[in-house]
Copies of this chain bind each other. A is one copy, B any other.
Amino acid sequence: MLYAPKEEIYSRIDRLRQLMEDASLDGAFFHYKVDYYYLSGTMQDALLFVPADDEPVLFVKREVSRAKRESPIERIVSIRSIKEIIDHIKPMKKIGLQLDVIPYNDVIKFKEIIGNVDLINCSPLTRELRKVKSPFELTLINRAAAIQKMVYEFVPKVLEEGMTEIELGGILEAYAKALGHEGLLRVRSLNYEAYTWHILSGRTGSIVSQSDSPMGGLGLSPAFPVGASMKKIKRNEPILIDFGICYHGYQADQTRMFAIGSMPKLFSDGYEACREIHYRVLDKALEGLASRELFEYSKKIADKLGYGDYYLGYKPHKVRFLAHGIGIELSELPFIAATHDYQINNGAVFAIEPKMVFPKQGSCGIENTVHIENGRYKILTDTDERIIIV
């Protein structure tokens, strides 16, 4: 088990403090475990407080000895109730709180404890920090990608005609977990859950659902309406496998195409168009085009290749992003999207996923997790990109 080194954690906190200073914050509280994991190294039941001008304090409610083992934060305080934190903090005027994720009632209760202060949403600060991945984080993402490669190479060994999508998904998950995959892909959203078993075959690849994705799949029930279903996998239909892997909380995202017997030309051609878009957009990203320009550029290529109606979904279900940053959440900065207006930053890790959806027929596409460094891109998910025919 890997623990975040002390220099790693304190350098993140130092960078956070600079952003806090820019926002004139006297202190910031991190209740949401994804962010206090990033800033402390532990996901024990805790609350992290970062004052502008003093040492950070990690308040831990349950298993403090485990928090101390996992986190290099020096001031770790055991509490039984969140009310006790008031003994450890000085009066402040303007504080950061994660107002985008903490439930309303919890913020109200917290206000009663902390008193009359200005509350600012501090989540944009950690999202900003997390745009740049450190070498330590890249180690974890690379490990996720390595597990993913093994999973994709395992597919031809187990894929059989007549098995259900979920049956294949379960087998792949079991294989991945034995290698260290953690099963959940965290998303910063009340209602959005990310499953790892996005296995869509033939027509289910054209089914849309509640997720912000060109295709959602049929899923297992109205309560789990996304991803693999009880549909049996047939010969000569496209099988799209979009299977996220999580290692020590860090995700890698990837999509490859498979078929039993043969891949219909509609989908093999569509897949090549996706690959072309994928690589041409990456080249342009290095030239410094802004996010929304990259997105528009990708649409133009799709149009020219004759895929305008199918690219990133069909109307009215087209999605407006081509790539999403990835790390400890499935949707981090930066994005390549219609409404994002910035250059792709150095140190970014994102998943780029051009896909085509053909109504009532199915879908195809490619996805890779990519790292940008010093004017180059590196494909972290370096699984063979050829369509695999079993």
**Cβ of A230 under 8 Å from chain B:** yes
**Cβ of A173 under 8 Å from chain B:** yes
Q: A169-B177, A170-B178, A195-B183 are in contact. Are A221 and B248 (CB under 8 A)?
A: yes
**Cβ of A81 under 8 Å from chain B:** no
Contact A63 B182 (CB under 8 A): no
Contact B171 A44 (CB under 8 A): no
Distance of A179 from chain B, by nearest CB (Å): 9
> Of the 9-residue stretches A31-39, A88-96, A304-312, which lies at the interface with chain B?
A31-39
Complex CA gap A49/B169 in Å reads 36
Partner of A249, one of B41, B183, B223: B223
Distance of A64 from chain B, by nearest CB (Å): 9
Contact B177 A170 (CB under 8 A): yes
Partner of A100, one of B103, B173, B177, B197: B103
Contact B221 A1 (CB under 8 A): yes
Partner of A44, one of B37, B170, B209: B209
Distance of A46 from chain B, by nearest CB (Å): 8
**Cβ of A150 under 8 Å from chain B:** no
Partner of A178, one of B2, B33, B166: B166
Contact B221 A249 (CB under 8 A): yes
**Cβ of A374 under 8 Å from chain B:** no
Q: A103-B103, A170-B175 are in contact. Are A33 and B191 (CB under 8 A)?
A: yes
Partner of A31, one of B97, B190, B212: B190
Partner of A62, one of B3, B175, B197, B317: B317
Contact A182 B103 (CB under 8 A): no
Q: A1-B221, A37-B223 are in contact. Are A210 and B44 (CB under 8 A)?
A: yes
Contact A174 B178 (CB under 8 A): no
**Cβ of A24 under 8 Å from chain B:** no
CB within 8 Å of B: which of A134-188? 164, 166-167, 169-171, 173-178, 180, 182-184
Partner of A210, one of B43, B71, B212, B222: B43
Distance of A306 from chain B, by nearest CB (Å): 26
Contacts of A230 in B (CB 8 A): 180
**Cβ of A107 under 8 Å from chain B:** yes
Contact B249 A224 (CB under 8 A): yes
**Shortest Cβ distance from A224 into B: residue:** B182
Complex CA gap A248/B224 in Å reads 7
**Cβ of A363 under 8 Å from chain B:** no
**Cβ of A128 under 8 Å from chain B:** no
Contact B178 A167 (CB under 8 A): yes
CB within 8 Å of B: which of A207-249? 207-210, 212, 216, 220-225, 230, 246-249
Complex CA gap A220/B247 in Å reads 8
Contact A178 B164 (CB under 8 A): yes
Complex CA gap A171/B209 in Å reads 28
**Shortest Cβ distance from A216 into B: residue:** B63
Distance of A233 from chain B, by nearest CB (Å): 13
Contact B190 A106 (CB under 8 A): yes
Q: Can you sample 11 A-B contacts with CB below 8 Å?
A: A31-B191, A32-B190, A44-B209, A45-B191, A100-B105, A101-B190, A104-B104, A174-B174, A180-B230, A223-B246, A223-B328
Interface residues of A, Cβ cutoff 8 Å to B: 1-4, 31-33, 37, 41-46, 62-63, 66, 70-71, 97, 99-107, 121, 164, 166-167, 169-171, 173-178, 180, 182-184, 190-191, 193, 195, 197, 207-210, 212, 216, 220-225, 230, 246-250, 317, 328
